[in-house]
Copies of this chain bind each other. A is one copy, B any other.
């Protein structure tokens, strides 16, 4: 594929990123309470004022990352919005801010959903709100140089590690006799993402000291999801890496596997064996199993034995698996330079750009039917914020910038 083709991708991706950033700058800022509205209708109108902590944290992270690393986004408007988002999070997301009497796990637990003015609506008994809190605070502190914020991110990371590797009881979920402890893909993926966030820019010795062991543990946990003699990635396995019975055990989530693929590729560095596993098993395989040969696009869920998943939305085409697939294939290509991977990127790009973006009002639709028709027409919702779309476009732009660099002369 010619450089001209790569240039063409970059042009489209770059202008789409500008348009998406513009959409959120215009519609999502809560200038009264700080933080972000994320329930935005087709035209950007706020249709619900609830603030989902995952999405607050992700938007702070994304704004700061763009501000810090992309010159055209190094603007006061983006910085101010990110700071107001970070302030909102620190003020309201933690359930008992400032160390309650128990002094233990409870003071680190974050809400899942808040009212516009920061009152707790819902708490999940998982680690994800806390993960996005760490992601936001670490990136924001890199922009502002706030040492106290950096420390808080690291302390919460310690708590996360404790919950995942030592004792989950502080999350509040009772251990039930029939509930098999599970290695669910999301957990090691999320922690690996945080390892890379917190280690970024540190010298190898520092990173090694703090998070090298954790990173290797995450990789090991992720690799346990390669099942069926290497022919499938399963979303849930036992703690010993064995297949689980029933629907839960047979579940595949191709977009999630692809996302894990590029996390692994980033972490692999020069480790060729890990790189090969990431490309073969976490990029090519989920695509092979998850792409809809009839209508195009990636299925949301599949059963590895070809049974019907019980998730009502299994056959829908969601925006984020396509975002992750674009990043995964382009990164796999940039590492291996195998032309077939660039062809796949091109295929996913075609489907994605011809189905998800809304040229009229901006941003992307999130949810299509199996046939590719828009099924839900809002641009932001309880699970769709300023994250997968801009992260994908940002990552792809960066990868294309590298690929298009003039090669070093002799």
Q: A48-B247, A50-B246, A246-B49 are in contact. Are A310 and B39 (CB under 8 A)?
A: yes
Digit string of A35-68 for contact with B (CB within 8 Å is 1, else 0)? Answer: 0000101100001111000000000000000000
Q: Is A295 an interface residue (CB 8 A)?
A: no
Q: Are A307 and B41 in contact (CB under 8 A)?
A: yes
Q: Is the beta-carbon distance between B312 and A312 smaller than 8 angstroms?
A: yes
- A310 close to B378 (CB less than 8 A): yes
A41 to B306, CA, bound (A): 12
Q: Mark A376-393, 1 if CB is under 8 A from B, else 0.
A: 111001100000000000
Chain-B contact segment, one of A172-180, A259-267, A343-351: A172-180
Which residues from 309 to 364 on chain A have a C-beta closer than 8 Å to any C-beta of chain B?
309-310, 312-316
Given contacts A39-B247, A41-B307, A47-B307, contact A375 B315 (CB under 8 A): yes
Secondary structure at the A interface, as helix, strand, loop or mixed, is loop
Task: Decide if B369 touches A369 in the complex (CB within 8 Å).
Answer: yes
Given A246-B49, A247-B39, is A312 in contact with B179 using a C-beta cutoff of 8 Å?
A: no
Whether A245 is near chain B, meaning CB under 8 Å from some CB there, is: yes
Number of interface residues of A (CB under 8 A): 43
Q: 8 Å CB contacts to B: which residues of A160-186?
A: 174, 176-179
Report if A375-B312 is in contact (Cβ < 8 Å); known contacts: A41-B307, A247-B47, A307-B41. Answer: yes
Whether, in the assembled complex, A114 has its beta carbon less than 8 Å from a beta carbon of chain B, the answer is yes
In the assembled complex, the Cα of A177 lies from the Cα of B120 at a distance in Å of 6
Contacts of A47 in B (CB 8 A): 246-247, 307
Give the interface centre of A121, A370, A382 by most chain B CB atoms within 10 Å: A121
Give the Cβ gap from A113 to chain B, nearest Cβ, in Å. 8
Number of copies: 2
Contact among B122, B174, B370 for A123, CB-based, below 8 A: B174
Q: Is A179 touching B245 in the complex (CB atoms < 8 A)?
A: no
Determine which of B41, B308, B370 lies in contact with A377 in the assembled complex, contact meaning CB atoms within 8 Å. B308
Q: A368 to chain B: closest CB distance in Å?
A: 11
Q: Are A121 and B376 in contact (CB under 8 A)?
A: no
A interface residues, Cβ below 8 angstroms from B: 39, 41-42, 47-50, 111, 113-115, 118-123, 174, 176-179, 245-247, 307-310, 312-316, 367, 369-370, 375-378, 381-382
A304–chain B nearest beta-carbon distance, Å: 12
CA distance A328 to B118 in the complex (A): 43
A to B CB contacts below 8 Å, 18 in the list: A39-B247, A39-B310, A41-B308, A47-B246, A48-B245, A49-B245, A114-B178, A118-B178, A119-B178, A122-B179, A123-B176, A308-B376, A308-B378, A310-B378, A310-B382, A312-B313, A312-B316, A315-B375
A308 to B115, CA, bound (A): 21
Q: Tell whether A178 pairs with B121 under 8 Å between CB atoms, given A49-B245, A246-B49.
A: yes
Roughly how many angstroms separate A234 CA and B313 CA in the complex, as a whole number? 24
Q: Which residues of B contact A245 (CB under 8 A)?
A: 48-49
User: How far does the alpha carbon of A308 sit from the alpha carbon of B358 in the complex, in Å?
Assistant: 16
List 16 extra interface pairs beyond A48-B245, A119-B178, CB under 8 A. Answer: A41-B307, A49-B246, A50-B246, A113-B178, A118-B178, A119-B176, A120-B177, A120-B179, A121-B176, A121-B179, A123-B174, A308-B378, A310-B381, A312-B316, A312-B376, A369-B370
